Structure 1
């Protein structure tokens, strides 16, 4: 969890180089993964770097350097800047807050029992892995997997939500079993105590669902907001492909509508 909670500054110029129109809807797909650092952009396919851009002006395809003229280098720079002005902010938005929600679950569950149930650790690892398979960031890099940006909301409201529900309710059973003997030694009705705990866990999951729905809505708006940016990026990519035909093998941005 600590890995995802590392914060880095978002790119403040993300919307300044394109006309962002939140009302316009478009179906945008990233067909390859992207790894972005301060100096390098990598277009990744099946775990391998296929295209690499160094310092916005040096191009490698399948490990081979591509010699570009000054004018051609300007097109490469536009393409590189277009990626940097969209992807990192989407990754930031996707990862921010989710890890805090997972940490909150841990703290609540630990407060109900002397130790965190093993089932919770396992389930939360599944949640974190699912998130990191799609979006990842570290101190010096951003990663986004191939995916349809118009379906980001489904990823949070369905897949991540379902995994978190499994984690919470799975750990509830483990907690009730571990606390059974302790309840028996105390005054009060055991069934009422267990019902109360079940209600508390339900409240937790409902609050998490609200948080995920909010996150999904934010990402949906951002993807829509970036529609013009991504259209512009797709046009620049087409210009670059005309200059360097080898780039067509790793077409990154696809606008479906």
Structure 2
């Protein structure tokens, strides 16, 4: 039985490596820092600091700083619109890219573990909620908003490969114990032949693993294509922000895109 479990553990680790690898983010080094948090909805963009909105852009054409409306002429409004649309074109996609890849991996783990035990073990549920919270502190999206925290976009590899990957490893290793307990309980209560059950779970694992592999490969191809675009977009966005800061110097206090 332990031989089977070890092979299952190896498959878990393979999936984790596929899920959490951020080499795709590192294809092109982009030393960009987001100096403040950013929330984007359909009509409003908000630059936030310590939970407070400092800069707000309504409908891509109205600028508020600390709640005060800044009147712009037509030419200045064009710069504001270019900046606002630049944020909309870049940030939501980045947030989706970050969250979707990890959520896919979490779903895969839930499917595999539930396949063994017939239910989601409490230890897995608790651990995965911890992973989700860590992710949502940095990236969050809902039906009508996107959020990204202040952070270095050049160090996403550390966040995903160390912090998130480490938490997922803890969840998986804790769940392996629950799987063994479930299989042991089945054996003691004579719920069928234990070897047949292990074999059946192994087949289910193979099917799920192959489907996850295909999904992750498709996701990897999308990420690889988009990763190279982010540096260029963000650098152009920084240039537009600099133009806007020249028009409205108060924005210097809330510098969002910082290219080093």
TM-superposed CA distance for 1:175, in Å, is 3.0
- Equivalent in the alignment of 1:13: none
Quote the offset at 1:173 in angstroms.
Answer: 1.2
Quote the offset at 1:214 in angstroms: 8.9
- TM-score, normalised relative to structure 2: 0.75
CA contact under 8 A between 2:33 and 2:257: conserved in structure 1? yes
- 8 Å CA contact 1:95–1:135 kept in 2: the answer is yes
- State the match for 1:156 in structure 2: 160
Q: Partner of 1:28 in structure 2?
A: 32
Q: Is the 8 A contact 2:128 2:168 kept in 1?
A: yes
**How big is the alpha-carbon RMSD for the aligned residues of Structure 1 and Structure 2?**
3.5
Seen in structure 2, the aligned counterparts of structure 1 residues 128 and 210 have a Cα distance that, compared at 3 Å, is farther
Matches within 5 A, 1:148-187: 148-186=152-190
Conserved 8 A contact 2:30-2:153: no
Residues 86-95 or 217-226, more deviating: 217-226
Q: 1:79 to 1:142 in 2, by over 3 A?
A: same
Q: 1:107 to 1:228 in 2, by over 3 A?
A: closer
Structure 1 residues 79 and 40: alpha-carbon distance in aligned structure 2, compared to 1, 3 A threshold: same
What is the alpha-carbon distance in structure 2 between the residues aligned to residue 214 and residue 156 of structure 1? 19
Listed one character per residue, the Cα deviations across residues 99-136 of structure 1 (whole Å, up to 9, x for unaligned) are 23212222221221243211111001011111211111
Pick aligned residue for 2:149 from 145, 156, 170: 145
How far did 1:67 drift?
Answer: 1.5
Query: Does 217-226 or 241-250 show the bigger shift?
Result: 217-226
> Residue by residue, what CA displacement relative to the aligned partner does 1:158-207 show, whole Å, maximum 9, x if unpaired?
222111111111122123234423223448789xx99x989x99xx99x9
> Aligned partners of 1:189 and 1:72: how far apart in 2?
72
Aligned to 1:63, which of 64, 67, 81? 67
TM-superposed CA distance for 1:231, in Å, is: 1.5
Structure 1 contact 94–219 (Cα < 8 Å) conserved: no
Determine the C-alpha separation between the residues in 2 that align with 1:24 and 1:110: 38
Which one of the candidate residues 34, 38, 45 is aligned to 2:49?
Answer: 45
SS of structure 1 residue aligned to 2:137? helix
Structure with the largest fraction of helix: 2
SS of the equivalent of 2:226 reads helix
Residues 35, 138 of structure 1: CA spacing in aligned structure 2 closer, same or farther, 3 A cutoff? same
**1:123 maps to which of 123, 127, 132:** 127
Which residue of structure 2 aligns with residue 5 of structure 1? Answer: none
Output the CA distance in 1 between the equivalents of 2:54 and 2:249.
14
Give the SS at the match of 2:64: strand
Q: CA deviation at 1:87?
A: 0.9
TM-score by length of 1: 0.76
**Post-superposition shift, 1:220?**
6.9
SS in 2 for 1:96: helix
Q: Which runs of 5+ in 1 are unaligned?
A: 1-21
Contact conserved, 2:76 with 2:247, CA < 8 A, in 1? yes
Task: Output aligned runs, 1:2-13, within 5 Å.
Answer: none
CA distance in structure 2 between the partners assigned to 1:106 and 1:221 by the alignment:
28
Provide the aligned length of Structure 1 versus Structure 2.
234
| Of 135-144 and 218-227, the range deviating more from structure 2 | 218-227
SS of the aligned residue for 1:85 comes to helix
